Amino acid sequence: MDLFEKTKERLIRYAKINTRSDENSTTIPSTEIQFDLLNLLVDELKEIGLEEVELNSDNAFVTATLPANTDKEVPSIGFIAHVDTADFNSENVQPQVFENYDGKDLQLSEDWVMKVSEFPNLPPYKGQTLITTDGTTLLGADDKSGIAEIVTAMEYLIQHPEIKHGKIRVAFGPDEEIGRGADHFDAEGFATDFAYTMDGGPVGELEYESFNAAQAVLKIRGKNIHPGTAKGKMINATTVMNLFMSDLPQAEVPEQTSGREGFYHVLSVEGTVDEAELVMIIRDFNRDVFEKRKAKVEEIVANINKEYAQPPITLELKDQYYNMAEIIEKDMTPVDLAQAAMESLDIPVNIVPIRGGTDGSKISFMGIPTPNIFAGGENMHGRFEFVAVESMVKATEVIIKIAELNAQ
């Protein structure tokens, strides 16, 4: 079985299917089009020989089982990826293949060039086979490369029964990009000792720390008076909104932070004199500092509100997910196993914190410790997204090696 051709073919086929999620939707999944890939995966998993293949109508997760082929008592493992793509054009995705990449600028189309000067992550892929789009859409390697790797690894294990392994479960779900996919994940039904999301970036990434995350929505009610007679009467909702933003710590924003530094991030603002709305996210790796950040937002709102007879700001503050390290650090077995698998394949291991979250952030708190492994993609969520087929092959080999080492 040629892992190179299999992973390449699968990613290209999956990428052509529009699966963009919609954060404004309240359905599960958030978009019906995600079923196009989910249903395809049901058929494909059955075709390659997996058992207990099911599409759960309640949570839109496809799950399947590769039964153990060893008599040893070994932990059961899960591998998870998401089908949806991010908030960027995903209509008519046309993947294109650059074989033996020359290390120079990539002419994606007449209008779009991926320049080495802008993307220094390109030259290290010289000599490899890159998959991109024409620059008008994203590629969707986040996370369709992860899907391709898991399916190909399962097919390989089925075709090579000499590789002994314990019970393996796979899951492909919706709406990870809008932070809701894992909310309804059936951890009890999945029933593995630990799992991995195949949803990371470049080769070697291994992540078991994620942000603690919250969202704040400020709804501001103003009072619109004719400006000629507004003195002492008008309350401009946009001015109140600006007061709030100016009181936030100005250096603690994504564009000025890195590593384990947290931030406040205003995502959107809209409004008139009469009413305004601001949506922001709050992130930090440290739970105590995370709580202080939320308290800071509440404090700013309270200080502004007390200046008015009728407080203009209504704050809706909700937690989204927590740092999965709180769970995983209690038993580092899945991290140690993944690290051993990479090292046995001569893959340099890069253990880094996720400056974001994965489905594993929530699944870990459901009782299944779930670190994140590289899937190979670069420049995700935009027109310059790409993945090297060689990276996908290495990720596939890591899955196979994890299964093998787990049974030894």
pLDDT of residue 1: 77
Q: Is 176 a catalytic residue?
A: yes
pTM across the whole model: 0.92
Homologous superfamily (CATH) of 3-210+323-406 is Zn peptidases (3.40.630.10)
**In this predicted structure, what is the pLDDT of residue 377?**
97
212-321 placed in CATH 3.30.70.360: yes
Other CB atoms within a 10 A radius of the CB of residue 88 amount to 16
- The structure tokens 């090696």 sit at 401
Q: Of 84, 175, 284, 397, which one is the catalytic site residue?
A: 84
14-73 pLDDT tens trace: 999 999 999 899 999 999 999 999 999 999 999 999 999 999 999 999 999 999 999 999
What pLDDT does residue 295 have?
98
CA 334/CA 39 separation, integer angstroms: 30
Q: Residue 356: what pLDDT? A: 83
The two three-digit tokens of residue 370, written as one number: 């779930």
Query: Residue 49's pLDDT is what?
Result: 98
> Structural domain boundaries of the chain?
3-210+323-406, 212-321
The 3-state DSSP class for residue 9 equals: helix
Tell me the CA distances in angstroms from 95 to 163, 199, 386, 389, one per residue in order: 33, 19, 9, 13
d(CA 370, CA 210): 11
Place of tokens 């038993």: 331
The torsion angles phi and psi of 113, rounded to 5 degrees, stand at -125, 130
Please give the pLDDT value at position 371.
97
Low-confidence ranges of the chain (pLDDT < 70): none
Distance, in Å, from the CA atom of 204 to the CA atom of 227, rounded to the nearest integer, reads: 60
* pLDDT for 151: 98
Burial class of residue 111, CB neighbours in 10 A (0-12, 13-18, 19+)? exposed
Residue (of 6, 76, 52) closest to 403 by Cα position: 76
Number of H helices and number of E strands within the chain?
10, 18
Q: Which of 176, 193, 378, 397 is catalytic?
A: 176
Domains 3-210+323-406 and 212-321 share a fold: no
